[in-house]
Structure 1
Amino acid sequence: MSVSVDHETRPRRSGRDFWRYWAATSISTAGDGVTSVALPLAALHLLNASNFEVGLITAANYAAIVLIGLPAGVLVHRFPLRRTQVSMDVLRALLMASIPAAAWLDALTLAHVLAVAFLAGLATNVFDVANSTLVPYIVPKADLTRRNGLLTGTFATTRLLGPAVGGVLVQAIGAAQAILLDAVSYLLSAAVLGSMSRADTTDRHIDRTGFWERIRVGLRYVVRHPVIRPGLVAAGAFNFANGALLAVTPTFLVRTLDLPVGIVGVVMAVDALGAVVAAALVARMVSRFGNTRIVLASVAFAPAAALLMPLGTGSAAIWMFATGMCGLAAGVTVFSVVTRTHRQTVTPSHLLPRVMASVRFASWSATPFGALSAGAVAQAWDPRAGLVIACAAALVAPLAVWGSRIRTTTRLEDLEPLGAGEAETAPAAASRAGER
């Protein structure tokens, strides 16, 4: 029996910490939404980038996960969470500010944009591992699904507004200037996170296990878990599809559907609308139907909806694309909230940063491959063919989940990992769980 994350033995935090956490991450994701439109459009309009080069920018941002994805879990485990988050925010602010600075000096190059995308990806990965690790320390166990739903819905709302505002800003003031807003958002996020409780959430137990051995232990726990493992495969499939969509959606909308730049951001924000609605309903759905049924339903619904995106022609194309994107986002959001809450609940506390990092590494590493694949296909044929690649990848997700032991249980928590007690020695694990 594994030692799960104990919310009762941890130091009690003021409820204000959660709302400061919520405010800080909401601010930075709003800026991210602007950049998700402004960065590829900057490459398209300022550098006249090709379809494949736009795909490279997306791939560079996510390729950082391959480099630092697994070490991030160990790093986050070693340093105070709040200090780590603030440091990564400041670093991302400086990186993003370099884009408009270079543009104003008429020195912006594709290599510069790629470097910023890659380095920002490194910082974002460390930040996000710390962020997801912090949640169960400031939220009671009974509220995790509801709070995770709130966080996902809020972030989706900021991403809904961010791209829409980003498209308008790019048209009104230019892509480089719009990216400056993202730099400001990171500084604001850092300031709010810095005002949180100074209590240290880092495990102070001295662990002399080797660096790579600690990574291996986290990976082994993930691979042996009957819920986390198939959920990881499904997440990887969805992230491959997401990378493909990020790479080809701007070119599909601009060059295939001939939409004006100001409308592109609005259309790209439709996926956030699906995520907002899904996040608002997920806690009630789980309460009524149980987490297993919701996982099985959501993982099947998402790719089915995605099939609408490349099928539309003529005046119906934009509506079918938007409907498919909205449905895909809704299904993925429900699946993500439920599986993330499960991981935060059942994972031993001393393993939580490494498990979150391992899942993020293995699943998000698929994103740059999706971006590169779809970008190459779009370059060889057209952007619509790149959308087909995204849909095909998404169909892998239900195969992984429905073919696992998840289909045989009514509660995800009832499925224990094989060899759960072998992750570390029981005394050390129990000691660490109590300390945290």
Structure 2
Amino acid sequence: MSTGSGAHSAPAPNSQEDTVSDATATTPGTAPGIAAGPAATPRKGTFSSLRIRNYRLFATGQMVSNTGTWMQRIAQDWLVLSLTGSSAAVGITTALQFLPMLLFGLYGGVIADRFAKRRLLLLTQSAMGLTGLALAVLTLSGQVQVWHVYLVAFALGLVTVVDNPARQAFVSEMVGQDELRNAVSLNSANFQSARLIGPAVAGVLITAFGSGWAFLFNGLSFIAPVAGLLMMRTAELHKVDRVPRSKGQLREGLRYVSGRPDLIWPIVLVGFIGTFGFNFPIWLTAFVYHVFHAGAGTYALFNGLMAAGSLIGALLAARRAGSRLRLLVGAAMLFGALEITAAAAPSFWIFAALLAPIGMVGLTINVTANSSVQMATDPLMRGRVMSLFMMVFMGGTPLGAPVVGWVTDTFGARVGFLVGGAISMAAAALIGLILARVGGLRLKIDLRRGHQHVAFVPRVADGTPPTEKELAAVA
């Protein structure tokens, strides 16, 4: 797609019958993503969406601010642990940052659907920069206390309520439906690239000068995305009609999702994983501090290893032509199994080596769920649906983080990590069975040589294969 593509976007599917991934062609009675079929969408280049000028500006700005964000995350976690010596306190900080998403997430989606997303992002990105500067002033002046960190984390969470759905939905306005999946994957690659750089720089700064300089860099880093948004050519954005103000818009969004198994079950799955499986600030600080008796540099190393795996996962996702729920469920099960294995790792280097594949599989879950939900959603509903997605994915953290932090403090880092992995794995298995049932599929085990040993195949009842509507749920 060239930068001069038309200023309108292709409509997204409006019914369950239309939600089969456009990357998979199916023959009658064949489940998409289960049996082999010819690809309907040609494989794109890994960086195809970067041909679009507006998206290049957006991605460049996000790269700078994401680096600052990761620097602040490392510095914030380590500052709280240094002030309190408690993994539960780190969990409380994480919970406060994501609590607004749980409380107000759906309202953020309504705002994102109602107002121009570029203008919203100018406001939210500026506000996020101010939170970083406030924490820098408190820390560099030597006045910082743990309640200050809690307050700033909560304020950042309030801004994120609007920023997240607006930023997620704005991607389609920049690149259009054809490049949406690639752009979502590159956004994740962007974030994970910054995750490689940010912790490494933060580790050096914290060790040499203290946490305050990492907070200062983060605050100043938001100049880049604000400049990128101001430099965009608005005439080249894909026009999406804004939703007029009216009553019942929250209920309308919830009804829309509840009637779509291809939307509701991926959201439920990422909710379980986000609540119990993604509490890495708690686990990694606990392993560094209590198990390996190391410092901030080791914490930065662990985050860097996870980022390296996540970056590989994002680039692989960018090359895939479509999003399949089968991949989502399989990745979620593998993710839980890897966390359980890491919890039992007998040595420092085995634990460290497992962090890269955990990052890669975790990123695959995020990208697959995000892109499949976005591509299956009507543009007029996208802000509300993505706010629900982010509310469940991130908003579960205030519920899970204090519990996981308490388990980690009480029973040790290994038990805390193992519990998170076990819950993630169990949720993936249960939702996989639900999706298979909705899609009219059954598990087939064939131990004969040369045959696929385990596969899901259409379940024929009374000679009638599953309908296209049923199959759409497991595309």
Q: Which residue of 1 aligns with 2:324?
A: 291
Kindly state the Cα deviation for residue 192 of structure 1 after the two structures are TM-superposed.
Answer: 1.5
Give the whole-Å Cα distance in 1 for the aligned partners of 2:203 and 2:96. 22
Give the whole-Å Cα distance in 1 for the aligned partners of 2:251 and 2:113. 14
Give the whole-Å Cα distance in 2 for the aligned partners of 1:283 and 1:116. 34
In the superposition, relative to structure 1, how do residues 338 and 382 fare at CA in structure 2: closer, same or farther (>3 Å)? Answer: closer
Instruction: Map 1:135-150 onto structure 2 (within 5 A).
Output: 135-150=171-186
Give the whole-Å Cα distance in 2 for the aligned partners of 1:205 and 1:179. 37
One-letter amino acid matched to 1:28: S
Q: What is the TM-score when the length of structure 1 is the normalising length?
A: 0.84
SS, match of residue 135 in structure 1: helix
Q: Does 1:105 align with 2:138?
A: no
In the superposition, relative to structure 1, how do residues 259 and 173 fare at CA in structure 2: closer, same or farther (>3 Å)? Answer: same
Give the whole-Å Cα distance in 1 for the aligned partners of 2:357 and 2:427. 15
Q: Which residue of 2 aligns with 1:174?
A: 210
Contact 2:120 2:166 in 1 (8 A): yes
**Considering only aligned residues, what root-mean-square deviation do their CA atoms show, in Å?**
2.7
Name which one, 1 or 2, has greater alpha-carbon Rg: 2
Kindly state the Cα deviation for residue 104 of structure 1 after the two structures are TM-superposed.
Answer: 3.0
Kindly state the Cα deviation for residue 243 of structure 1 after the two structures are TM-superposed.
Answer: 4.6
After TM superposition, the structure 1 stretch with the greater mean CA deviation from structure 2, 299-308 or 66-75, is 299-308
Kindly state the Cα deviation for residue 122 of structure 1 after the two structures are TM-superposed.
Answer: 1.5
Q: Which residue of 1 aligns with 2:41?
A: none
Kindly state the Cα deviation for residue 29 of structure 1 after the two structures are TM-superposed.
Answer: 1.3
Q: Which residue of 1 aligns with 2:387?
A: 357
Q: Which residue of 2 aligns with 1:117?
A: 153
Give the whole-Å Cα distance in 1 for the aligned partners of 2:325 and 2:103. 33
After TM superposition, the structure 1 stretch with the greater mean CA deviation from structure 2, 159-168 or 319-328, is 319-328
In the superposition, relative to structure 1, how do residues 215 and 396 fare at CA in structure 2: closer, same or farther (>3 Å)? Answer: farther
Give a deviation string over 1:305-350, Cα, whole Å, max 9, x none. 221221022xx2x233334332232222223222322222221111
Find the partner of 2:309 among 264, 267, 274: 274
Q: Does 1:22 align with 2:59?
A: yes
SS, match of residue 206 in structure 1: coil
SS, match of residue 142 in structure 1: coil
After TM superposition, the structure 1 stretch with the greater mean CA deviation from structure 2, 98-107 or 19-28, is 98-107
Higher helix content, 1 or 2: 1
Q: Which residue of 2 aligns with 1:346?
A: 376
SS, match of residue 395 in structure 1: helix
Contact 1:243 1:369 in 2 (8 A): no
Give the whole-Å Cα distance in 2 for the aligned partners of 1:393 and 1:33. 27
Give a deviation string over 1:26-45, Cα, whole Å, max 9, x none. 22211111111100111233
After TM superposition, the structure 1 stretch with the greater mean CA deviation from structure 2, 74-83 or 146-155, is 146-155
Q: Which residue of 2 aligns with 1:75?
A: 111
Kindly state the Cα deviation for residue 228 of structure 1 after the two structures are TM-superposed.
Answer: 1.5
Q: Does 1:2 align with 2:14?
A: yes
In the superposition, relative to structure 1, how do residues 399 and 220 fare at CA in structure 2: closer, same or farther (>3 Å)? Answer: farther
SS, match of residue 111 in structure 2: helix
Contact 1:244 1:386 in 2 (8 A): no
Contact 1:311 1:320 in 2 (8 A): no
Kindly state the Cα deviation for residue 285 of structure 1 after the two structures are TM-superposed.
Answer: 4.6
One-letter amino acid matched to 1:266: L
In the superposition, relative to structure 1, how do residues 254 and 270 fare at CA in structure 2: closer, same or farther (>3 Å)? Answer: same
Contact 1:226 1:404 in 2 (8 A): no
One-letter amino acid matched to 2:288: L
Kindly state the Cα deviation for residue 391 of structure 1 after the two structures are TM-superposed.
Answer: 1.3
Kindly state the Cα deviation for residue 293 of structure 1 after the two structures are TM-superposed.
Answer: 4.0
Q: Which residue of 2 aligns with 1:9?
A: none
One-letter amino acid matched to 1:71: Y
In the superposition, relative to structure 1, how do residues 64 and 374 fare at CA in structure 2: closer, same or farther (>3 Å)? Answer: same
Kindly state the Cα deviation for residue 414 of structure 1 after the two structures are TM-superposed.
Answer: 5.5
In the superposition, relative to structure 1, how do residues 34 and 276 fare at CA in structure 2: closer, same or farther (>3 Å)? Answer: same
Give the whole-Å Cα distance in 2 for the aligned partners of 1:295 and 1:243. 16
Contact 1:81 1:202 in 2 (8 A): no
Give the whole-Å Cα distance in 2 for the aligned partners of 1:174 and 1:58. 21
Q: Does 1:371 align with 2:383?
A: no
Give the whole-Å Cα distance in 1 for the aligned partners of 2:244 and 2:296. 54
Contact 1:86 1:190 in 2 (8 A): yes
In the superposition, relative to structure 1, how do residues 240 and 205 fare at CA in structure 2: closer, same or farther (>3 Å)? Answer: closer
Q: Which residue of 2 aligns with 1:130?
A: 166
Question: What is the count of residue pairs matched by the alignment?
Answer: 401
Instruction: Map 1:375-414 onto structure 2 (within 5 A).
Output: 375-405=405-435, 408=439
Contact 2:60 2:228 in 1 (8 A): yes
Q: What is the TM-score when the length of structure 2 is the normalising length?
A: 0.78
Give a deviation string over 1:188-243, Cα, whole Å, max 9, x none. 22122222233585634534x31xx2111111222221121111121012212345
Kindly state the Cα deviation for residue 405 of structure 1 after the two structures are TM-superposed.
Answer: 2.8
Give the whole-Å Cα distance in 1 for the aligned partners of 2:242 and 2:311. 38
SS, match of residue 308 in structure 2: helix
Query: Matched residues, percent identical?
Result: 24
After TM superposition, the structure 1 stretch with the greater mean CA deviation from structure 2, 72-81 or 339-348, is 339-348
Contact 1:58 1:243 in 2 (8 A): no
Kindly state the Cα deviation for residue 283 of structure 1 after the two structures are TM-superposed.
Answer: 4.3
One-letter amino acid matched to 2:383: P
Q: Unaligned 5+ residue runs, structure 2?
A: 1-12, 20-49, 442-456, 459-466
Give a deviation string over 1:237-278, Cα, whole Å, max 9, x none. 221234532223112212221123212101122121111111
Q: Which residue of 2 aligns with 1:309?
A: 342
Give the whole-Å Cα distance in 2 for the aligned partners of 1:417 and 1:361. 27
Kindly state the Cα deviation for residue 355 of structure 1 after the two structures are TM-superposed.
Answer: 0.5
Give the whole-Å Cα distance in 2 for the aligned partners of 1:59 and 1:205. 32
Q: Which residue of 1 aligns with 2:29?
A: none
Contact 1:225 1:416 in 2 (8 A): no
Q: Which residue of 2 aligns with 1:192?
A: 228
